[in-house]
Amino acid sequence: MEFKTLAHTHIDELLSVFNYSFSDYVVPFHLTKEVLIAKIEEQKLDMNISVGAFEEGKLVGFIIQSQKNENAESIVYNGGTGVIPESRGKGLVRKMYDFIIPVLKERNATSLLLEVIEGNHTAIRAYENLGFTIVRRLLCFKGNINHREGNTEVTIRELKNFPWNILRSFWDIEPSWQGSVYVLEPMPADYVALGAYIGDQMVGYMVYGPTVRKIYQIAVDKNYRNRGVGTRLFNAVLQRNGGEAVIVNNVDDSSEETGKFLSERIGLNNWLSQFEMKRTL
C-alpha cells in the first residue's frame, strides 16, 4: 500500500472511487463528474493537501481537504473520506491521516475539521479514536417552500457587493464550512445573493445556489425578526426556481429559532443531522 497526495490523480479515477466508496453509505449518493468538479471548486478543496491510498498503483481510498487561515487559526477541512469496500478493515483512514498530518503541520495547520452523519456510529467512533471530538450538531433541511407573501414592505434585490461586516452582524451562529465566508468569497459565478430591504436599509440576506438548489446562508437583522423578512427571501427563491425543492444544510441546532422557522414557516423537513467534529494538531 502506498500513500501520497492526490496532486497527480486524474479526476476520473477520483470520481470512480468516490462513487464506489459511497455506494453503500448511510445515505448513498452518486456524483457526476461535473458535480465533483464543482464541489472541488466551490469548497476550495486542494489536491496538494488531499491524500490517497494506492494499492498496486490504483486508488482505493482518499481524504479530500481544504485549508483556511482565520482568526489566528489554520483549519483543514475534510470535504470527503472514502474507502472502497474491498479495502476496508485495514486502518486506511488512520494511515492516510498519519501520512498527511506532517504535511499539514509543515503548512502551519492548527486543527482538523469534518462532518459526519449522526447515525454513522462506526465513522464517529473511528474519528473519536483519531482524536476528534464533537463540537456541535448540525441540522439538514429539504423540501418545497410554502408560498407565503411575507411582509410587503420588504423588497428583494440582488446583491453585487458583500459588506460582510454588516452581514455578519445578522448572525447568531457561525456557518459551517460550506457556507463560510472563506468558501463564498469571492462568490461563485452561478450563485445568487439576495438582499432584503425596508426602504434603503438592508434587514436580511440569502445566498442561493440555483444549480444544486441549495441555500448556503440566510440571516435576518436581529431587530427585524418575526416580521416576514425571511419569508420574503424564501418566496423570492420560490419564484426563481419554479417550485423545485431546496436544501438548507448544517443549521446549528443551538439556533432553535432558525430550525423552527424552516420547518414550521417555510415547510422544510429536517431529514438528516450531522455532527461537526474537530481535532487540534
pLDDT digits (tens, 9 = 90+) for 85-127: 999 999 999 999 999 999 999 999 999 999 999 999 999 999 9
Residue 115: the pLDDT is 97
Residue 229: the pLDDT is 96
| Burial per residue of 190-210, b for 16 or more beta-carbon CB atoms within 10 angstroms, e otherwise | ebbbbbbbbeeebbbbbbbbe
User: For 133-138, what is the mean pLDDT?
Assistant: 97
pLDDT band at 148; cut points 50, 70, 90: confident
257 burial via Cβ count (<10 Å: 0-12, 13-18, 19+): exposed
DSSP secondary structure of 44-97: T-EEEEEEEEEETTEEEEEEEEEEEEETTEEEEEEEEEEE-GGGTTS-HHHHHH
Residue 130 has pLDDT above 90, yes or no: yes
What's this model's pTM, rounded to 2 decimal places? 0.92
Distance, in Å, from the CA atom of 237 to the CA atom of 243, rounded to the nearest integer, reads 9
Q: 179-210 pLDDT, tens per residue?
A: 999 999 988 888 999 999 999 999 999 999 99
pLDDT band at 160; cut points 50, 70, 90: confident
**223 secondary structure, DSSP code:** G
In sequence order, what are the residues at sequence separation of 6 or more whose Cβ sits closer than 8 angstroms to the Cβ of residue 222? 170, 172
User: For 256-276, what is the mean pLDDT?
Assistant: 95
Residue 28: the pLDDT is 77
Residue 142 bridge partners (DSSP): 247, 269
Lowest mean pLDDT among 21-30, 123-132, 235-244: 21-30
User: For 255-281, what is the mean pLDDT?
Assistant: 95
Amino acid found at 92: L
Q: Which part of the chain has CATH 3.40.630.30?
A: 2-109, 141-273
Lookup: cell for 245: 425543492
Distance, in Å, from the CA atom of 126 to the CA atom of 131, rounded to the nearest integer, reads 9
Give the chain's mean pLDDT: 94
The fold adopted by the segment(s) 141-273 is: Aminopeptidase (3.40.630)
Distance, in Å, from the CA atom of 244 to the CA atom of 213, rounded to the nearest integer, reads 8
Q: 49-93 pLDDT, tens per residue?
A: 999 999 999 999 999 999 999 888 999 999 999 999 999 999 999
Lookup: cell for 95: 494511515
Lookup: cell for 166: 454588516
The Cβ of residue 264 has, within 10 Å, a number of other Cβ atoms equal to: 10
Lookup: cell for 258: 432558525
Residue 180: the pLDDT is 93
The fold adopted by the segment(s) 2-109 is: Aminopeptidase (3.40.630)
Residue 231 has pLDDT above 90, yes or no: yes
Residue 208: the pLDDT is 95
Total count of residues recorded for the chain: 281
